[in-house]
């Protein structure tokens, strides 16, 4: 009888606490499911520069949807909207020129992470300027501005644009 009580207690404990290996498996499964989109997203290159070139090529073809896919997943919808506006207003060519110019003068900023890359370049405005963006006028006083482009490497080895 004592053995039967121990077996019943063990079974009750297993049902209330779960098998230790099963809980670890559940955690791993949940983690993998959460990260699945990052493993399945194959839009991008093997280097940050390759991803940037693919992004510009898509813009040159007028394929703003494809171009938006080169951004990190969290920002793709926002960039699709922004790039669509550039395309609809005829400002896409100017953006492409600016992006191409930026790549010719940018310098890589050293980071301590293997899955992050950042490039910067300076732009000098000789006189004050006003830019209209989304119905607002933005004022930029004359001076030097630092532009940066950040990239993130996904677990599957593909580089994505984090920000422009």
- pLDDT (tens digit, 9 = 90+) per residue, 18-39? 666 666 666 667 666 666 777 8
pLDDT, the chain, mean: 86
Domain count for the chain, please give it: 2
Whether residue 105 sits in one domain with residue 156: yes
Weakest-pLDDT range from 5-9, 63-67, 75-79, 159-163: 5-9
Residue 129 has pLDDT above 70, yes or no: yes
User: Do residues 85 and 99 both lie within one domain?
Assistant: yes
51 and 86 in a single domain? The answer is yes
Burial pattern 91-121, b for ≥16 Cβ within 10 A else e, equals ebeebbeebeebeeebeeeeeeeeeebbbeb
User: The pTM is what?
Assistant: 0.76
In the predicted model, what is the mean pLDDT of residues 137-161? 92
Q: How confident is the model at residue 17 (pLDDT cuts 50, 70, 90)?
A: low
Pair 118, 67 in one domain: yes
Same domain, 33 and 76: no
How does 147-164 read in b/e, with b if 16+ C-beta sit within 10 Å? Answer: eebbbbbbeeebbbbbeb
Residues 97 and 23 in one domain: no
Q: Please indicate, yes or no, whether residues 141 and 159 belong to a single structural domain of this protein.
A: yes
Same domain, 78 and 25: no
Whether residue 104 is found in the same domain as residue 159: yes
Statement to judge: residues 17 and 51 lie in one domain: no
Residues 52 and 9 in one domain: no
H or E stretch at 125: strand 116-125
Instruction: Write down the pLDDT at residue 43.
Output: 95
Provide CB contacts within 8 A for 94, sequence distance 6+.
none
Strands 136-140 and 107-109: unpaired
| pLDDT, tens only, 47-104 | 999 999 999 999 999 999 999 999 999 999 999 999 999 999 999 999 999 999 999 9
Do 89 and 31 have their domain in common? no
Q: What is the CATH number of the domain that holds 113?
A: 3.10.450
Provide the 10 A C-beta neighbour count for residue 63: 14
How much is the pLDDT for 159?
A: 97
What is the rounded distance in angstroms from the CA atom of residue 30 to the CA atom of residue 24? 10
Residue 4: domain span = 1-38
Q: Which of 97, 73, 56 is nearest to 162 (CA)?
A: 73
H or E element that contains 137:
strand 136-140
Tell me the C-alpha distance between 162 and 149, whole Å: 7
């Amino acid at each position: 009888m004592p053995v039967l009580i121990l077996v019943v207690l063990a079974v009750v404990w297993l049902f209330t606490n779960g098998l230790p290996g099963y809980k670890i498996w559940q955690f791993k499964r949940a983690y993998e499911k959460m990260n699945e989109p990052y493993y399945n997203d194959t839009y991008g290159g093997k280097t940050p520069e390759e991803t940037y070139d693919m992004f510009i090529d898509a813009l040159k073809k007028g394929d703003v949807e494809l171009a938006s896919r080169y951004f990190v997943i969290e920002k793709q919808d926002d960039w699709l909207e922004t790039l669509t506006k550039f395309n609809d207003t005829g400002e896409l060519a100017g953006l492409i020129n600016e992006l191409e110019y930026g790549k010719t003068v940018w310098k890589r900023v050293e980071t301590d992470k293997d899955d992050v890359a950042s490039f910067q370049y300076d732009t000098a405005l000789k006189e004050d300027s006003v830019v209209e963006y989304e119905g607002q006028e933005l004022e930029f006083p004359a001076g030097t501005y630092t532009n940066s482009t950040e990239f993130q490497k996904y677990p599957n080895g593909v580089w994505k644009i984090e920000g422009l």
